[in-house]
Amino acid sequence: TSAKEVILTRHTGADAGILTLTLNRPKAKNALSRNLVKDFRAALEEIRFDNDARVVVLRSSVAGVFCAGADLKERAGMTPQEVSQFLHSMKMAFRELESLPQPTIAAIDGAALGGGFEMSLCCDLRVAGPRALLGLPETSLAIIPGAGGTLRLTKLIGPSQTKALVFTARRLGPFPAMAMGIVNDMVEHPECMDEGKPADQEAAYERALEWAREILPNGPVAVRMAKRAIDHASTVDPSTGLDVEQLCYAQVIPTEDRLEGLRAFKEKRKPIYKGC
């Protein structure tokens, strides 16, 4: 069943370097089952060590849903020990997503609830489609966000806004999600209804691809090192943060790409980076 519930697509031609990871479990609205998480982790391992992978877009194949969170039906049949084991593997999967060296973009075209929302918080950027619905409904299920939501959302929007969402279990559409700084970009309804524009469920993905294409021509090692430095910036003290930035900078100095950037500037042309 591997790679069926999570599909990894490598783009070609002008988009070579973009990888799309598609959650594909329509019958359960992409709910995170043991099997889906296993497939997801296998795909992430492939991406992590792929030197040609420059930008990763995470999307859903299911109309109106990004991911419905933990599989509540599978959960009902688990012993407490199995629940703990499953939560552990889900948290590992999220850490693996968050720590991918490449930039990641979540295209959210529908419900991203509980674990589904927490998964999107492990991406570097989020794009909301017209039907995006983001929320942490856990307290309405008499549990609390258990896959990093309390930490990652707090880092993103602060404790008070996070409490507002968690205490109420409220679901946010694209506008409030944008206003609260949860998503970087959104696609409004009218735009997707224009002639020639992609259908609703594709809108967030198309926009996410636009972001990916904007990242793609930049120095691959530089983008990876920038991600690393920025990720450390919010977790370590300022002097360690500056030290990490310097260490990351040191990684780009010996690259061919850095010299190509200088040459291209001098010759007034676009640089062509190789990722080394």
Which positions touch ligand CAA (CB under 6 A)?
28-29, 31, 64-65, 68-73, 111, 113-115, 137-138, 141, 146-147
Q: Which is nearer to ligand CAA, 47 or 68 (CB)?
A: 68
- Catalytic residue, candidates 5, 74, 118, 202: 118
Q: Which is nearer to ligand CAA, 69 or 101 (CB)?
A: 69
Sheet holding 133-135, edge to edge: 65-67, 111-113, 133-135, 171-172
Measured from the CB of residue 28, what is the shortest distance to ligand CAA in angstroms?
4
- Which pair of structure tokens corresponds to residue 176? 């409030």
- Catalytic residue, candidates 31, 43, 70, 111: 70
Measured from the CB of residue 59, what is the shortest distance to ligand CAA in angstroms?
16
Q: Which is nearer to ligand CAA, 78 or 233 (CB)?
A: 78
Candidates 46, 49, 39, 54; CA nearest to 7 is: 39
- Catalytic residue, candidates 5, 74, 138, 202: 138
Measured from the CB of residue 112, what is the shortest distance to ligand CAA in angstroms?
9
CA separation for the pair 208, 127 (Å, rounded): 6
Residue holding tokens 């198309």?
206
Is position 118 annotated as part of the catalytic site?
A: yes
Measured from the CB of residue 251, what is the shortest distance to ligand CAA in angstroms?
35
Interior angle at CA 59, CA 54 and CA 60, nearest 5? 155
Q: Which is nearer to ligand CAA, 141 or 236 (CB)?
A: 141
CA separation for the pair 166, 175 (Å, rounded): 18
- Which pair of structure tokens corresponds to residue 31? 């709910």
Going along the chain, which residue ranges are E strands?
6-10, 18-23, 55-60, 65-67, 104-108, 111-113, 125-128, 133-135, 171-172, 185-186
Q: Which is nearer to ligand CAA, 89 or 218 (CB)?
A: 89
Q: Which is nearer to ligand CAA, 72 or 179 (CB)?
A: 72
Measured from the CB of residue 87, what is the shortest distance to ligand CAA in angstroms?
6
Is position 195 annotated as part of the catalytic site?
A: no
Measured from the CB of residue 206, what is the shortest distance to ligand CAA in angstroms?
22
What does the buried/exposed string (b/e) look like for 126-147 if buried means 16 or more CB atoms within 10 Å of the residue's CB?
bbbbbbbbbbbbbeeeeeebbb
Helix ranges, 158-237 (H)? 159-168, 174-179, 189-193, 200-215, 220-233
CA separation for the pair 112, 165 (Å, rounded): 14
Is position 70 annotated as part of the catalytic site?
A: yes
Is position 260 annotated as part of the catalytic site?
A: no
- Catalytic residue, candidates 115, 129, 135, 148: 115
Give the three-state DSSP class for 41: helix
Residues annotated as catalytic (active site), given as ranges? 70, 115, 118, 138
